[in-house]
Each structure stands twice: as structure tokens, then as C-alpha cells.
Structure 1
Amino acid sequence: MNSITGVLLAGGESKRFGEPKAFAEYNGRKLWQYSMEVLKVTTEQQIIISHQDLLKEFQKATQEKILTDDHRFIGDGPKAGIYTAMKNETSEWFVILSCDIPLITADIIRRLLTYIDSDKKMIIPKIEGRVHPLIGVYHHSVFPIIEEQLESNDRKLMTLFDQVNVCFVTEKELQSDAKTFSNINSRRDYGMLLNNGKITE
């Protein structure tokens, strides 16, 4: 069993962005590549969970293992992506990163990993009071809970927090600030990123 698998989530439809944001460019690289580069230096193996429409584009761009949502839960959001990764990969821990956080750093993930212990099932940043479940560390034991929730049509990641022991880590503990955790949801976010390297919520 590998101890840590990195999971890049790129299964969303990017409706607010207007086009597949994973392949939008920033400083000469695609947005998804920033998360993958972080995963490569912090985890033992990596996997991409792709939207079906992006599968061929990812296959042309990388040699990494690429999957689409499990057939039982196609289109059921990030929770379905995490389920798919855990169903197909054998690891004790999974580092989850979305494809739209180009300012994330390997140091952030390394600091999150230092909070691993036998009692904690999820390690999640809580930055200025806001929880970031798509920049997190998940223990494999949450898999059956995720499956049960998806079978009940519960797509919300936050409901998972109610059933497992979660360790929330603040920006002070991570020695970072809020902008590092910002994700590109809209064209406005993207424009701010391109203009001055900062993203406003």
C-alpha cells in the first residue's frame, strides 16, 4: 500500500468560468499544472480525475493516470471525484487538490501532512474562517462514508465533516495568507490573477 496518493480534481463543468478552467493559462502554464506540480513533490503517486469532455485533452498533455467519475456517480461533484480516486487507488492517505488554485505551494501541503496522526481522518485548511475542503488530506477510512452519502444523493463535502474527526489548520499554523488558497471560479478571478498575481473573492 502506498502511503500517500495525490489527487487532482478536474471533473467540474466550469459553468461560471465559461470554458474549461483547468486549461486556462497563467505564466505560460495551464492552471491544472500548478496543482499537479505540487502533488508530484509531496505525494508518492498521482492521479487526475477528469471531466469526460476533458479526458482526451489531458491524455495528450500528460502521462499521469487519468480517470473519469465512477459510473455510479457521474457529475456528482468533488465528492464523486474523491470517491473515484479512493476506489481505484490503494493508499492510506489522499492529498486532494482542485485544478484551479495556481498559487498553492508545496510548503502548504507539507505542513498539512505534518498534522497526520492516527486519530485524524481529514486535515483541512481553515483560512480566515473559511474551510477549504479541496485543499486537504483525507484518510482512506472515509471512503465508505463518502459512498453512503453519494448513494443518498448527498453531494456536499461539508456533510462529511459531521461524521469524521477533522483537523482544521489555520493560516497562522500554515504560515500563509488567504490569497494562496484562492481558486479561480470566474472570469473576474482570472482577470485579477493575470493582471497582478492576486485574486479577489
Structure 2
Amino acid sequence: MIELTGILLAGGKSRRLGRDKAQELVGGRRIIDRVLHSLRQVTKFQTVVVDRFDRIEELNIDAQINFVVDAYSNSGSLGGLYSGLQQSSTSWSVLVACDMPFLSANLFEFMFAKTLDGDFDVVIPRVEGRLQTTHALYNSSCLEPINARLKDGLLKMDGYFDNVKVCEISQDEIFKIEGAESSFFNVNTGEDLELALQMDKNTYGD
């Protein structure tokens, strides 16, 4: 168990899928339950960030989970990250989304080890040329620069990175870790959900 808080974004807006993707089943379990299972394997604490109080009842999570209602409404993932970091019990937190059914605990451990290599504020993978902002580690030192952006209505997840120390992890490094490649897969559409079901079947069988 790592001195790390898992922040799970579970706002509930699933525009492309047309229904609550967090509660879709993959391998007989809701995606959000799969995400929490992965987080519990490696993080000491878990926080679920929601956009409204009644979302807590909707999710019906049977566990001792810390729920946080987003402090900045309609501010997307950046607002959710800020709200989660505010309530974090540890210096470092890992941010994930509720639509990622194949998260890798081994990858989180690898990423956390990077925090010991320097005085970083963010540890983040770059996969297929893109920074994976909802699959990254953030230090509580990010709170002030994030808050400044939110107050100005600036919601780009990496918009404050020039003001903090960022450790990027290359795709080559990441894909050496077993299960890491599928860790970044997320369900946004019906086609994604079908693919997730097939991926689960290929891994675990019927």
C-alpha cells in the first residue's frame, strides 16, 4: 500500500454513450467498481468526486469511500482534480476517471516511484503523443496554480504545467510494464464498450 490517495472523477455526464458509463458492466462488474478495485490495490485512501449530492446515491458504492462534491461546478476534470486534491490525506494523489475499466496497479506503483527521483509536482505519462492528464499523479503543491486557473475560467488540464515541475514518462517506458497499455483505455461510446467487453473476455475468458 502506497502513501497515495486515489481521486476518481465520477461526474456522471456521458454525452457520447448516452447513459451513465460508470455503471455499465464489463466482466460482470460496473466500471466504477473495477476502477475502485484497482485503486484499492495500491492507494491508501480513495476519494470519489461528484458534480452533485444526489450523484452519491446514484452510484450506490458499498464501501467506506470519501465523497467530495465538486467545489467548482461545470469546470470539468480540472475542477474535479482541484476538489479531490483539497480533500487528499496524502501529498501525492493519482487522478483517474470512472470510465477506465483496465487500470494497472503496477503502473501506478511505477509512476509513484518517479516521485522519488526529483522535486516534481506532476508525474504524467505521454501516450500516442498526448499527455494522459486523467491518468497521472499530482502533488498538493498543484492546488494554488490550479485554483488560479479555475478562478479565471481556464479549464485546460495542463494549462498550468509551465508553472510547476513535470515529470513525463515516455510510452516506451510505460509499455514495458505488464498491463500498462490497456490501463489508458476508456469507454466513451457504444463501440468502446463492446471493445471493453471483448478485451475482458480475451483476458479472463467467458
Query: Normalized against structure 2, the TM-score is what?
Result: 0.87
Distance 1:178 1:110 in 2: 15
Tell me the number of residue pairs that the alignment of Structure 1 and Structure 2 aligns.
195
The offset of 1:51, in angstroms, is: 3.2
Match of 1:115?
A: 114
CA contact (8 A) 1:121 1:142 kept: yes
Match of 1:80?
A: 79
CA contact (8 A) 1:17 1:186 kept: yes
Distance 1:108 1:186 in 2: 25
The offset of 1:60, in angstroms, is: 4.9
The offset of 1:26, in angstroms, is: 0.2
CA contact (8 A) 2:91 2:140 kept: yes
Match of 1:187?
A: 190
Distance 1:35 1:129 in 2: 24
Describe the superposition over 1:138-162 as per-residue Cα deviations: whole angstroms up to 9, x where unpaired. Answer: 0100001111100000111021222
Query: Normalized against structure 1, the TM-score is what?
Result: 0.89
Amino acid aligned to 1:165: K
CA contact (8 A) 1:35 1:101 kept: yes
Q: CA RMSD in A?
A: 2.0
Corresponding residue SS for 2:126: strand
- Give the gaps of 5 or more residues in structure 1: none
**1:6-155 mapped onto 2 (5 Å cutoff):** 6-52=6-52, 53-70=54-71, 73-117=72-116, 118-155=118-155
Distance 2:142 2:162 in 1: 12
Corresponding residue SS for 2:124: strand
Corresponding residue SS for 2:13: coil
Amino acid aligned to 1:22: A
Corresponding residue SS for 2:133: coil
The offset of 1:67, in angstroms, is: 1.6
Q: Would the alpha carbon gap of residues 100 and 75 (structure 1) be closer, same or farther in structure 2, given more than 3 Å must change?
A: same
CA contact (8 A) 1:12 1:77 kept: no
CA contact (8 A) 1:8 1:96 kept: yes
Describe the superposition over 1:121-173 as per-residue Cα deviations: whole angstroms up to 9, x where unpaired. Answer: 10111113221110111010000111110000011102122221111112321
- Percent sequence identity is 27
CA contact (8 A) 2:6 2:93 kept: yes
Distance 1:140 1:60 in 2: 26
Q: Would the alpha carbon gap of residues 27 and 197 (structure 1) be closer, same or farther in structure 2, given more than 3 Å must change?
A: closer
The offset of 1:5, in angstroms, is: 1.2
- Give the gaps of 5 or more residues in structure 2: 202-206
Corresponding residue SS for 2:19: coil
Describe the superposition over 1:42-62 as per-residue Cα deviations: whole angstroms up to 9, x where unpaired. Answer: 111111112325221234543
Match of 1:4?
A: 4
Amino acid aligned to 1:33: D
Distance 2:89 2:114 in 1: 21
The offset of 1:33, in angstroms, is: 1.6
Amino acid aligned to 2:120: K
Q: Would the alpha carbon gap of residues 188 and 62 (structure 1) be closer, same or farther in structure 2, given more than 3 Å must change?
A: same
CA contact (8 A) 2:26 2:200 kept: no
